[in-house]
Amino acid sequence: MGIKPPPRLVALDTQVFDSYNFNYHSKVFRTLVTLAQQDKIRLLLTSVTLHEIRAHITEGAELTSKAINYAVNDLNKKRFKAQGDTKRVKISANSDLLYEFKKKVKRLAPTFEQINQDLLDQFEALLQELDFEIIEVDKVSAAEVFGNYFSGTPPFDEGKKKYEFPDAFALLALQKEAKDRNRIIYIVSGDLDWKKFCSSSKDLSLVEKLDE
């Protein structure tokens, strides 16, 4: 019986979760879970990436809540206009049936807190299935990050440099982890700046999509 090879080290960028709309029931995420549970891959997430993912979830929950509230408030208008129609009607506003419908919709509409907690719980459940490792970024040299910032080294780019600091810390932390383990880390990201950084590193290999 041959020696079992070590699991491949795989790190995910926040962009991956955004691109699949946080749908953990999708085929790609279910395949990821299967590979992790079969010990074929070992998932790594930096502390910065975890923070970003949760922030994106909360931002999406807030936008969803606002859309729901807008729709509910729209039901309270005295005049209604069918989609594609230019005329507004008032007579339906006097309907007792419609009044009861409005009350039920308003009562059933979830709050921002409920939506946010539900989405965060789904994410935490996925992490439990993946049995991932957290890669802390506190060992990354701030001097190195600022050196890359001033020299324009990826992931820093013209016009959006200040927004790339989290990515810089995440990438340097993963690169250091790869060096410490003497292993290649496969990074999944469709972000062009992540691609540029990985192309100049012998310790990181970039894959643009989970299903590649």
Q: Which residues pair with 9 in a beta bridge?
A: 42, 185
> What is the chain's Cα-based Rg?
23
Percent of the chain's residues with pLDDT above 70: 78
State how far the Cα of 114 lies from the Cα of 136, in Å rounded to an integer: 30
- Tokens for 130, please give them: 């993946």
pLDDT digits (tens, 9 = 90+) for 35-83: 999 999 999 999 999 999 999 999 999 999 999 888 877 766 655 555 5
- Pick 129 or 86 by higher pLDDT: 129
Report strand pairing: 41-46 vs 133-135.
Answer: parallel
User: Identity (one letter) of the amino acid at 179?
Assistant: K
Of the pLDDT bands very low, low, confident and very high (cuts 50, 70, 90), residue 108 is: confident
Between residues 71 and 170, which one has the greater pLDDT?
A: 170
CA nearest to 189, candidates 173, 171, 175: 171
Q: How many CB atoms lie within 10 A of CB 56?
A: 17
**Average pLDDT in the chain:** 85
